[in-house]
Structure formats: C-alpha cells, structure tokens
C-alpha cells in the first residue's frame, strides 16, 4: 500500500489524508478492530500537522466510518454504514415507479440557509456560510411516505429557481457538469419527534433515519442528504452477496 502524501499535489493535504485512512480501513487488521495509528504517528509518517490528521479523521467520524474512545484510540466503526454504487442508484421516485408505485412531491421548498457545524465540516466550508437547502415531502396522493432534506455544496452554483421536479442528479450533470459517482450512508431508527406532523404520525412513532454523503469523481462532496421514512410505509432492503 502506497502510504504517503504528495506535497506537490493541488489536492488539499487533509483530503489526501482522508483517502489514505479510507484505504487503511479496508485492510483486514483494521476492519477487524485493530487500533489505527495515533495522530502524532500519522503526522510524523506523512509529514503533515496533527491538525491536518484531525480534520480528516473528524470528517470520517461524522460519516460513521471511525469510532473514537478517549484513552483507548481510534478504530473502524461497526459496519452499519452502507457504501452504494451510484451506477445502480435510482431516485426514490424512479425506484418506486419501477415497483409499480406512483409517488408525488407533496411539498417542495428551496431556500438558502447557514451551514451548521456538521454540514460545514463535510463541505469543508466556514460554519454559517449559506448553502442551498432542498426540502421534499414525497408520498401517494395525500399520504406521505418520506421527507428529505438536501444541502448542496455552494461551488455547484445551484439556485432556488431550479426545476426540482426533474431527477436531481440528471439535472446536476446536464446543467452544471456535476457527475455523482459515490455515496456513503448511515441508517438508524429514531423517534419521529419534530418531524411527526410532516409525516402525519405521532411523535413517539419510529421512523427510519438515513444520512447520505454524496461525492463526485474527485471525491469532492456534492450533497448532504437526510431522509425520514415512515416505518409503516417503507422498508429499506439490502441485498448482500458473499464474496468467493
């Protein structure tokens, strides 16, 4: 494994470190729970500052790929993260259509909002910088199924006036030349709480909560998306094949 930094590259150091750590996590010893090298060890080995190592590790921790324990160290997080190839990745509407279910946009809103700490970290922008937020409620007739919130990196140049009724990623590629090639996802069950009125359920009912981190071919962040799925209306199915 080529474990070194190209200090002459135009790719930021923290992005290179992030990619190196991603590769480390694929090695059997770390996938099976071995402690990753300490920050100071990585910094000395790669010739970068500890803050650069920490910035990369923070991003991977937010994605759910790393687990830190004070006084112990850093390990690969338990495998609850789904890596999805976008070669076979459909929009929710398209996927439901293929299953014979017609879903509509019951609510659509685009607005600029200040980036919170989590979004700012993922996009590597200043906290509070304005980003485009797209909110969509999807369902059949007036029966909601899922509520999405998407946040887009400001470098794309999306405006509130886009036609968000058409497939999003097709529009990004056709109009802005932005190609989406990879996503990582975190999925867990939570109580509906404040999202309950939107989904027309009680606050104590469970919903499936999904975070999606979307990247372009250069591994640059494109979109941070969260989805709240009604558990009585939607099942998230995963087809896993055993490797030979």
User: Tens of pLDDT along 114-124?
Assistant: 999 999 999 99
Candidate CATH numbers 1.20.1250.20, 3.40.1410.10, 3.60.20.10, 3.40.50.620; the one for domain 83-230: 3.40.1410.10
Q: Which helix (H) or strand (E) holds 94?
A: helix 92-98
Candidate CATH numbers 1.10.260.40, 1.20.120.850, 1.10.10.10, 3.40.30.10; the one for domain 13-78: 1.10.10.10
CB proximity list for 94: less than 8 A, separation 6 or greater: 167
The pTM of the full predicted model, rounded to 2 decimals, is: 0.69
User: Tens of pLDDT along 34-55?
Assistant: 899 999 999 999 999 999 999 9
Q: Is the pLDDT of residue 84 over 60?
A: no
Strand partners, 31: none
Q: What is the pLDDT of residue 82?
A: 35
Q: b/e map of 105-123 (b: 16 or more CB within 10 Å)?
A: ebeeebeeeebeeebbbbb
User: Tens of pLDDT along 56-73?
Assistant: 999 888 877 888 888 888
Q: Which of 106, 132, 114, 145 is nearest to 223 (CA)?
A: 132
- Give the position of tokens 């997080």: 77
The Cα–Cα gap between 105 and 128 comes to 29
DSSP labels for 179-199?
A: ---EEEEEEEEEE-GGGHHHH
Segments making up each domain of the chain, as ranges = 13-78, 83-230
């Amino acid at each position: 494994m080529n474990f070194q930094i190209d200090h002459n590259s135009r790719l930021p150091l923290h992005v290179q470190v992030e990619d190196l750590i991603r590769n480390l996590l694929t090695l059997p010893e770390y996938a099976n729970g071995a402690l990753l090298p300490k920050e100071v060890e990585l910094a000395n080995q790669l010739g970068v500052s500890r803050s650069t190592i920490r910035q990369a590790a923070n991003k991977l921790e937010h994605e759910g790929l790393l687990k830190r324990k004070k006084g112990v160290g850093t390990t690969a997080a338990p495998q609850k993260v789904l890596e999805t190839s976008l070669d076979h990745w459909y929009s929710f509407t398209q996927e439901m259509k293929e299953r014979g279910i017609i879903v509509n946009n019951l609510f659509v809103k685009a607005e600029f909002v200040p980036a919170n700490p989590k979004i700012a970290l993922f996009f590597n922008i200043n906290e509070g910088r304005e980003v485009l937020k797209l909110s969509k409620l999807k369902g059949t007739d007036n029966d909601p199924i899922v509520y999405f919130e998407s946040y887009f990196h400001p470098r794309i140049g999306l405006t509130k006036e886009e036609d968000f009724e058409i497939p999003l990623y097709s529009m990004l590629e056709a109009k802005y030349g932005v190609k989406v090639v990879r996503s990582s996802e975190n999925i867990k069950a939570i109580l509906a709480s404040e999202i309950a009125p939107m989904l027309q359920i009680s606050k104590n009912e469970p919903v499936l909560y999904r975070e999606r981190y979307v990247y372009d071919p250069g591994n640059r962040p494109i979109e941070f998306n969260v989805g709240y799925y009604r558990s009585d209306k939607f099942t998230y199915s995963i087809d896993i094949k055993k490797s030979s």
